[in-house]
Amino acid sequence: MTNATLTHLQRLESEAIHIMREVVAEAENPVMLYSVGKDSAVMLHLARKAFYPSPPPFPLLHVDTTWKFQEMYKLRDQMAADSGMELLVYQNPEAAERGINPFDHGALHTDMWKTEGLKQALDKYGFDAAFGGARRDEEKSRAKERIFSFRTASHGWDPKNQRPELWNLYNARKNKGESIRVFPISNWTELDIWQYIHLNDVPIVPLYLADERPTVERDGMLLMVDDDRFPLLPGEEPVMRSIRFRTLGCYPLTGAVESTAKTLPEVIQETLLTTTSERQGRAIDKDAGGAGMEVKKQQGYF
């Protein structure tokens, strides 16, 4: 092993583990945001590796919208049990009371359940540092975000006032009311995530692999009819198609792609040969012109 240069995945893994340990050493009450997607899966694996043989010394927080795929809830509970970590599930009570849902409320659904829900959960438990699985290759404004990203007491992000981050030294000192979002896999790309999952047998939601599933086509998106809350429009009839998902969120908002890739290498193959970017399946980035995500983040979206 001496004289051998580390591979890119080894360097990325070491960097992420180093970051997680720094947070645990310096933050008072850290938490890992867990969305059950493939990036979360890698994050959880890295956390287990960072602290082995101890279980990761922080809980998992799932900011739930009640509209995730059933298979996501299943894997979530199983992974929490396997890792020996506490799982906190938070659902915005106001959104629940008002019956906010993706079919009737569009953008308000994401805002209430996710953005507001996250703020409420962080406030409720008093977490001062939250790990997130965002990557810099996902979106233009994320390319400039620090690994330790500070939020004001009202959870806002000020892109012009970010702390310089030199070498691998992270300044985790906070002012009163501030919290930190920490992104240990900032420097990973989508391909790195897939390859890491493949090499380490990281458990992922089966929806990432192609299978026959009930679908309807609506506004150019292929949606999966995951439960009986899905309101079918006149003339709509679920059709079985071989599909898989490139990203996972609320099932009524997440577009599937037609695919026959039933193994990870096949998925990676399709991903590499594809010609549309990953987040395209999500409606969220396209609001407010080119600066959609930047505006959302200033408002506190993760």
- Are 159 and 298 contacting, i.e. CB atoms less than 8 angstroms apart? yes
The piece of 5-13, 64-72, 96-104, 234-242 that touches another protein (CB under 8 A) is 5-13
* Cα–Cα distance, 76 to 82 (Å, whole number): 10
Nearer to another protein, 91 or 187 (CB): 187
Give how many residues touch another protein by CB under 8 A: 71
Q: CA torsion angle for 76, 78, 84, 88 (degrees, to 10)?
A: 30
CB of 297 to another protein, least distance (A): 11
Stretch 234-293 residues interacting with another protein (CB under 8 A): 265-266, 268-269, 272-277, 280, 290-291
Q: Which of 22, 64, 111, 128 binds another protein (CB under 8 A)?
A: 22
Instruction: Report yes or no: 82 and 64 within 8 Å, Cβ to Cβ.
Output: no
Residue 260 or 269: which CB sits closer to another protein? 269
| Length of the chain measured in residues | 302
DSSP code, position 3: T
- Residues 89-128, one symbol each (x = binds another protein by CB under 8 A, - = not), give ----------------------------------------
Query: What mask, x for binding another protein by CB under 8 A, covers residues 183 to 222?
Result: ---xx-x-xx--x--xx-----------------------
Single residue of 65, 115, 120, 141 touching another protein by CB under 8 A: 141
Piece of the chain touching another protein by CB under 8 A; list 6-14, 35-43, 62-70, 244-252:
6-14
In the bound state with another protein, the residue whose beta carbon lies nearer, of 4 and 233, is: 4
Inter-CA distances, 36 with 32, 60, 85, 111, 178, Å = 11, 10, 14, 19, 26
Q: How far is the CB of 159 from another protein (least distance, A)?
A: 6
Signed CA dihedral, 64, 68, 70, 76: sign only:
negative
In the bound state with another protein, the residue whose beta carbon lies nearer, of 66 and 171, is 171
- Is residue 107 within 8 A of residue 115, CB to CB? The reply is no
Contacts of 253 (CB under 8 A, 6+ apart): 67, 102, 109, 110, 282, 283
